[in-house]
Structure 1
Amino acid sequence: MGNSELSYYLPSRANGVNDMYLHLGFRAPKHIMERERVRVVWAILRQRHPLLAATVEMHDYDDVRFVYRPGATVQDAVRSADANLGYRTQTRDQLIQSYLNGPRTLSSQRISYLILSSSDSIPTPPASPNPSSSSLDNNDQPQIESEFDLLICAAHFLGDGMALHQFAHDFFTLLASQNSVQDLEEILGKEWLERWGPQAVVSDILPCSIEESMPQLTGRFRRAVAAVDFESSQNKLIGGQAFPKVSAKGRRTIVPTVSFDEDRTKAILKACKAHGVSITAALFALCNVVWARMHPDRGELPMMMYSASNLRPYMAKSPASYWFLAVGYFNVVLPTFLPRTISHAQTFWHRARLSKEQSARAAKNSMAIYRTHEMSKRRAAQARAWGKEDDEKANGTWAPTPPVSPQEEAPPAPLRPKAPSNALVGLSLLGNLDGIYKHQDFKSIKMHALTTGSRQRNGGMLLFGYTFVGKLWLSLGYDEEGFEKETVSKFWDGLQAAVNEFLG
């Protein structure tokens, strides 16, 4: 694993912090959701993207490896897919709550998993798959439709949100194709022979880490300059706003979600375009103005929010599989006070433009790649230290750092106190997902809902914004046991009201 992967893997070991999920609600013919068909499609995609079927071996805090062992036969590939597939009769909320707050679904031995749920029973074939079995064509099956919920579960250290969504599109495309189960089994068999048969040339099975894929800095002087630049950029990140937290023994993540119909969404996007910004920039500004209204007496310190950036465009070479982790981070810092000389609407649009400018500067900065390298090194170093401490506490061998004796000379006080760098909230802004989900590729499946997120640590919070099936969606995933409930509730209600007020 590279530094980015390590920074996600080490904290995840105990309780699955950052284990991702993607929920999709849809209506489809019942016969194409039968286990016999789904597991073959799942087996094909696990073969095309071997990281999904890999395991993790940890030898040291600096030596953690993905290990992929392909099955000796096509039947083994189907059995492995079937063992990582679950059928349930839970509702959407039950599925998500179980994944987020129940026992961990994933592990080092199972880093991806599919759950298909329906209130109607789905016929299940015999337990032992037989890829040579025959099946009726889709056209011969009765078109009885039903409601389904799919939960795609994947550890964050093996991929990111873009991989999740592209996978979901490919999964539904194969599932809704005109291929019979026998046709799909033949596709699986042919691809297995190409990869693992007697004539196959095996190389580069798993993608390399993002750090290896991006340009590297060579030379001691250049690396020193990059380190100084990174420190300078970090010192500019000032944030003095934070949701009040409460101490709690447990954690319970909830995900309130709202959507705006297609006509409202078109009006919202039109308003953003008229003011020269994207909905992404507008969401930063919405959070800013809502918080400033809630706390008119806290305007002396700015508000900082963070978001993820897609590092795939920086890669020197794209691997065969899209399942790999390619996430960086950037911050947006905005004033907290609201001017009295102009309207709140004028302030909102001005700060939306400021958000757009800051996001563009972060992406286009000539040092962006090297800041990413430096950030991943530091995140990995921190994860190693915390991981070692967690293990020592579990083993009963941990000892706190001894206090400094009075005889030891105290370090000199800094010339200037370090400014606070608290982030109010993280924003995961996925953009227009209908650009990934080409719904015409799976016409028999009618999607109507999408929710995504991850298992959180205590006191975690992340706001999601995206468009899907023509609608704008907002969801706030947060630990309701870790925050003052009244403040979070007021912020969430204010955010929805601000959409109506400023975006139409």
Structure 2
Amino acid sequence: MAENLAKAIAGFEAISLSSRTDEVRYERKMGNSELSYYLPSRANGVNDMYLHLGFKAPTHLMERERVRVVWAILRQRHPLLAATVEMHDYDDVRFVDRPAASTEEAINSADANLEYRNQPQDQLIHSYLNGPRTLSNQRISYLVLSAVPTPPDSPDNEPVGEFDLLICAAHFLGDGMALHQFAHDFFTLLGSQKSVQDLEEILTKERIERWGPQAAASGALPCSIEESLPQLTGRFRRAVAAVDFKSTQSKLIGGHVFPRVSGKERRTIVPTVSFDENRTKTMLKVCKAHGVSISAALFALCNIVWARMRPNGGELPIMMYSALNLRPYMYKSPASYWFLAVGYFNVVLPAFLPRTSSDVQTFWLRARQSKDQSARAAKNAMAVYRTHEMSKKRGAQARAWGKEDDQKADGTWVPTPPAPTENEPAAAPLPPKAPSNALIGLSLLGNLDGIYKHQDFESVKMHTLTTGSRQRNGGMLLFGYTFVGKLWLSLGYDVEGFEKETVNEFWSGLQDAVEEFLG
């Protein structure tokens, strides 16, 4: 059987190498959600994601010859990773995948999108976030491995190294869930007992299954989230969804923002703190006893900290936004998990602290309010249809802004006509609209140890995880997650875009509030 497989592989490789043409390609247009991330990213990589993992591992596992084959296997399993982007118009941008013609070509392509460095963690992340853009239309995913080998304890021991892996991917390619599942699969293959030759055989076998003469359409690119979600059918249903969306948006009232400054070039920093396993267990028990999750508690923590900083904050509430995982709503199950599937929801809480109850009572009340609002957003019967409406809105905005950006760049932009003069009738004044400003965004990743099954790669000892994206000027996002048994808080923000004293006070107050309310 092994001999027959070897003959089939050799025959397929020969056919592939002799008959390869550029016509072998798969392509599809981006959906509105993908476009809303792609168009702003073109100039400077806004929203390009990264996932950093710090770990120790035997040095032989991290040799380039092995890493590039693992990378090639995963690029083949998830074709968007190896795809390129072609833009024909603002509403016609396409993913294009040209399958490798041979195992050698697949490995070489992976190797060209893999870089080895010798940089510490902070420098690695800083260069990605603030340096020249790493990704492009021709390279929408990339791996960077930084190695600091350490000598063995004795001549009989295998050398173990300290490594930092940076997984880079454009946000229009996928989301945080795809990043973390990919990292787990990457380390599962890398940390296995399989030799490089074994891994190459897996790559070749899967190539035949995916691209061989008898292969089905399994090589096709995963469809957009708009196609994967239940569709809006009928004029009446579409009208109801539009009215519901408009009504929901009008209720999003927020009157609090961090004071901003301008005039300096963006510089993103990512201060990060973690709490040891015992304290994290205590925090989880305390939250469970009050019927909430750590995620709900983080909304309440931000609310309490800001209310203390702004005791005369006025009548307008504090609004915060977060991402909604849309994968549970999909009716299609694509072979690849690399696709974009995020929506958004908001949590709105009072900006004052009542005098009739303690801050502790207020905190747990608002944590439960955050939980209820999050649950209503996720479980609402209109959630899918609101997602469709938001997707259309974001897509239309991205196309308009993308066109404006291009016109400004080539000098053809014409500003909006001025307001009517005295000789022209003015339109009737519109009623004042309540502000809809978000204080901060929260990316609440939950328990990542549920994704990283560390027993699947026992020789690799992970100890650090940081994630985020390249930001636009004045960007800010708070990450909260548990990893290797610890609670982590990470604040990614443009240090040149905000009043430093206010951000520092908030970040320090947030850490103190964790101690005060969660123990």
TM-score, structure 1 as length reference: 0.95
Residue pair 1:116, 1:148 contacting (<8 A) in 2 also: yes
Residue 33 of structure 1 is aligned with which of 52, 62, 67? 62
Residue pair 2:45, 2:135 contacting (<8 A) in 1 also: yes
Residue 504 of structure 2 is aligned with which of 489, 493, 496? 489
Alpha-carbon separation, structure 1, partners of 2:65 and 2:237: 56
C-alpha deviation, 1:204, in angstroms: 5.4
Q: Aligned partner of 1:89: which letter? A: N
Question: What is the aligned partner in structure 2 of residue 164 from structure 1?
Answer: 179
The within-5 A match list for 1:279-294 is 279-294=294-309
- Whether 1:143 aligns to 2:158 is yes
Residue 238 of structure 1 is aligned with which of 225, 241, 253? 253
Residue pair 2:150, 2:161 contacting (<8 A) in 1 also: no
C-alpha deviation, 1:215, in angstroms: 0.7
- Whether 1:321 aligns to 2:336 is yes
Question: What is the aligned partner in structure 2 of residue 138 from structure 1?
Answer: none
Question: What is the aligned partner in structure 1 of residue 453 from structure 2?
Answer: 438
Question: What is the aligned partner in structure 2 of residue 475 from structure 1?
Answer: 490
Alpha-carbon separation, structure 2, partners of 1:405 and 1:413: 13
C-alpha deviation, 1:121, in angstroms: 9.2
Question: What is the aligned partner in structure 1 of residue 49 from structure 2?
Answer: 20
Residue 128 of structure 2 is aligned with which of 94, 99, 116? 99
Residue 77 of structure 2 is aligned with which of 48, 51, 56? 48
Segments of 5+ residues of structure 2 without an aligned counterpart are 1-29
Question: What is the aligned partner in structure 2 of residue 330 from structure 1?
Answer: 345
Question: What is the aligned partner in structure 2 of residue 368 from structure 1?
Answer: 383
Segments of 5+ residues of structure 1 without an aligned counterpart are 123-140
Residue pair 1:309, 1:327 contacting (<8 A) in 2 also: yes
Alpha-carbon separation, structure 2, partners of 1:183 and 1:492: 48
Q: Deviations over 1:163-184 (max 9, x none)?
A: 0000000000000101000100
Paired residue secondary structure (1:425): strand
Paired residue secondary structure (1:348): helix
C-alpha deviation, 1:271, in angstroms: 0.5
The within-5 A match list for 1:96-495 is 96-120=125-149, 143-203=158-218, 205-406=220-421, 407-414=423-430, 416-495=431-510
Question: What is the aligned partner in structure 2 of residue 67 from structure 1?
Answer: 96
Identity of aligned residues (%): 81
Paired residue secondary structure (1:158): coil
Residue pair 1:247, 1:482 contacting (<8 A) in 2 also: yes
Question: What is the aligned partner in structure 1 of residue 19 from structure 2?
Answer: none
Q: Aligned partner of 1:88: which letter? A: R
C-alpha deviation, 1:63, in angstroms: 0.3
TM-score, structure 2 as length reference: 0.92
Alpha-carbon separation, structure 2, partners of 1:334 and 1:40: 50
C-alpha deviation, 1:196, in angstroms: 1.6
Alpha-carbon separation, structure 2, partners of 1:409 and 1:423: 36
C-alpha deviation, 1:199, in angstroms: 2.9
Q: Compared with structure 1, are the counterparts of its residues 121 and 381 closer, same or farther at alpha carbon in structure 2 (3 Å cutoff)?
A: farther
Paired residue secondary structure (1:67): strand
C-alpha deviation, 1:472, in angstroms: 0.1
Q: Aligned partner of 1:51: which letter? A: L
C-alpha deviation, 1:203, in angstroms: 4.6
C-alpha deviation, 1:248, in angstroms: 2.2
Q: Deviations over 1:97-138 (max 9, x none)?
A: 00000000000100000000012399xxxxxxxxxxxxxxxx
Residue pair 1:461, 1:476 contacting (<8 A) in 2 also: yes
Aligned residues: CA RMSD? 1.2
Residue pair 2:420, 2:426 contacting (<8 A) in 1 also: no
Residue pair 1:292, 1:299 contacting (<8 A) in 2 also: no
Alpha-carbon separation, structure 2, partners of 1:46 and 1:121: 30
Q: Compared with structure 1, are the counterparts of its residues 71 and 336 closer, same or farther at alpha carbon in structure 2 (3 Å cutoff)?
A: same
Question: What is the aligned partner in structure 2 of residue 84 from structure 1?
Answer: 113
Residue pair 2:79, 2:219 contacting (<8 A) in 1 also: no
Residue pair 1:239, 1:420 contacting (<8 A) in 2 also: yes
C-alpha deviation, 1:197, in angstroms: 2.3
Question: What is the aligned partner in structure 2 of residue 131 from structure 1?
Answer: none
